[in-house]
Amino acid sequence: MNIIFIEPSFPYNQKKFVHALCAAGANVIGIGERPAEYLDDELKEWLADYTQVRSVVHEPSLLEAVQSVQAKVWVDRLEATVEAHIMAAAAVREACSIPGTSSATAYLCRDKPAMKEALRKAGVPCARSTRATSGAEAKAFADAVGYPLIVKPPAGAGAASTFRVGNAADLNRVIVESGLAEGTEVAIEEFIEGHEGYLDTLTINGEVAHEFATHYYPNVLEAMRQRWISPQMVVTNRIDAAGYDEVKAMARKVISVLEIDTSPTHMEWFYGPKGLKFSEIGCRPPGVGQWDVYNAANEFNLYFEWAHALVKGRIHTRPSRRFSAGMIALRPERDGTISGYSGVADIERKYRECIFGAHFPSPGSPTQPIEGGYMANAWMRLRHPDYDTLRAMLNEVGQTVRVHAE
């Protein structure tokens, strides 16, 4: 089987998808923005061929590269795993008659107002939302729905460029700061109170083959606004408990409504006074290397499971569900330059057997803004068979480890 993979070398974990495809028996043909000589030796070994393009989201360039590959070999699949690449890949896939996620599905997963409208029509509960290109439209939605509201880019992911609007004065400020006053299109939705998490799946022929539930502590918007918080993402090994039945059932309905075929999915949700509501849907893996956390929790290789699904049409191994696992982000005390750390040795002595990953930038490294995300600065990953024990351990890490900056 010949599979084109978009952008095999960036971000850092892209090469894991390439390796998995190679291990599953595929001939992997890379298309990316870096010159071939910049690829590391492992990637060069795993790739059967490679083409450089000026941009993998510039559809004419990507189309030309894919057609050039098709002129030489039969192409069975064209795969992209980064949110920003999904739409261009889908358009080129259809233009070249290659199976995979359609442009219609990719659009609904990328454009949040359109996605929510489609899901609401199908009876899937979502926050009330709209798109706006003027301050007047935003104010009309606020008058109809009330406050608080969330304002974000229509194709945004996570908390990037996201504003929480608590009143009319906030909205007037955000209309300017978001670019809406100049006609920049934004998505506006009601703020949903409650606990936030996400459900990730590997779906094969429209059926869920693997699934994992992860919880945010605290919710993303709060975590990305407060420096003192050491936010956590924790995957449970209790997903077969009855409490997850509703979100799993809703995920299957979403997959059907959006006509997702064989693909990873990422579905963000809230549960609170208004019940369970889906927030965002992606037909791609989660970010921040979360598949690595699933692998450690379940003692298997989800990258290979994905590759095996594409090549063989079925899964290879069942997850063990033996561990809960989580990541905690550790922020510097101020912007500047990292001067050192404290508390790390204490945590390592106490929980050495539970730590399966960590990153501590060297002293002298510049700090990164907290808006950069969960992996922008230091972080640690731990696992434990008991979810509640793991939560207590991660809390202790957050209370003990300090990232000093000057």
Average pLDDT value over all residues in the chain? 95
d(CA 134, CA 152): 14
Answer whether 341's CB lies under 8 Å from 378's CB: yes
Does pLDDT of 374 surpass 90?
yes
Q: What is the pLDDT of residues 249-269, one digit of tens each?
A: 999 999 999 999 999 999 999
The CATH number of the structural domain formed by 195-405 is 3.30.470.20
Q: Please give the Cα distance from 120 to 98 (Å, whole number).
A: 30
* Residue 12: per-residue pLDDT: 87
Torsions phi, psi of 56, nearest 5?
-80, -5
Is 312 in contact with 230 (CB distance < 8 Å)? Answer: no
Give the start-to-end residue ranges of the domains of the chain.
2-100, 128-190, 195-405
Query: Cα(347)–Cα(342) distance, rounded to whole angstroms?
Result: 10
* pLDDT of amino acid 341: 98
Half-sphere exposure of 169 (CA within 13 A, CB side): 0
The Cα 222–Cα 209 span in angstroms is: 33
The answer to whether residue 147 scores a pLDDT higher than 90 is yes
Sheet of 77-79, strand order: 47-52, 27-32, 2-6, 77-79
- pLDDT, position 371: 86
What is the distance between the alpha carbons of residues 258 and 104, in angstroms, rounded to a whole number? 8
Express each pLDDT in 32-70 by its tens digit.
Answer: 999 999 999 999 999 999 999 999 999 999 999 999 999
**Mean pLDDT of the 327-335 span:** 96
What is the C-alpha separation between 375 and 301, in angstroms, rounded?
21
Count of CB atoms situated within 10 Å of the CB of 205? 10
Strands 27-32 and 2-6 turn out to be parallel
Share of the chain above pLDDT 90, in %: 90
pTM: 0.93
> Is residue 335 pLDDT above 80, yes or no?
yes
pLDDT at 157 over 80: no
Per-position DSSP letters for 268-333, written without gaps between them: EEEEETTEEEEEEEESS--STTHHHHHHHHHTS-HHHHHHHHHHHSS---------EEEEEEE-BS
Nearest to 174, CA basis, from 197, 148, 196:
148
Q: pLDDT tens digits for 13-30?
A: 999 999 999 999 999 999
Q: For 230, phi and psi rounded to 5 degrees? A: -105, 90
The pLDDT of residue 160 is 58
Tell me the fold of 128-190. Answer: Dna Ligase; domain 1 (3.30.1490)
Other C-beta atoms closer than 10 Å to the C-beta of 253 total 14
Beta bridge partners of 200: 212, 266
Q: Is the pLDDT reported for residue 159 higher than 60?
A: no
| Matching fold, domains 2-100 and 195-405 | no
The tens digit of pLDDT for each residue in 77-105 reads 999 999 999 999 999 999 999 999 999 99
372 Cβ neighbours under 8 A, 6+ residues apart: none
Q: Quote the percentage of the chain above a pLDDT of 70.
A: 99
Q: Which amino acid is at 350?
A: K
Question: Angle, nearest 10°, between helix axes 290-298 and 302-312?
Answer: 100
DSSP class per residue in 44-65: HHHEEEEEE-S-TT-HHHHHHH
Q: Do 88 and 56 form a contact (C-beta atoms < 8 A)?
A: yes
Greater model confidence, 90 or 113: 90
306-322, pLDDT tens digit by residue? 999 999 999 999 999 99
pLDDT digits (tens, 9 = 90+) for 229-240: 999 999 999 999
- pLDDT(155) > 70: no
Return the CATH number of 2-100, one of 3.90.550.10, 3.10.28.10, 3.40.50.20, 3.40.50.720.
3.40.50.20
Distance CA 22, CA 48 (A): 9
Q: DSSP strand E in 53-157: where?
A: 77-79, 129-132, 149-152
Model pLDDT, residue 255? 97
- Calpha distance 110→86 (Å, rounded): 8
The residues that bridge with 204 in the sheet, in sequence order, are 207
Q: pLDDT tens digit string along 178-199? A: 999 999 999 999 998 899 999 9
276-311 b/e (C-beta count within 10 Å ≥ 16 → b): bbbbbbbbbbbbbbbbbbbbbbbebbbbbbbbbbbb
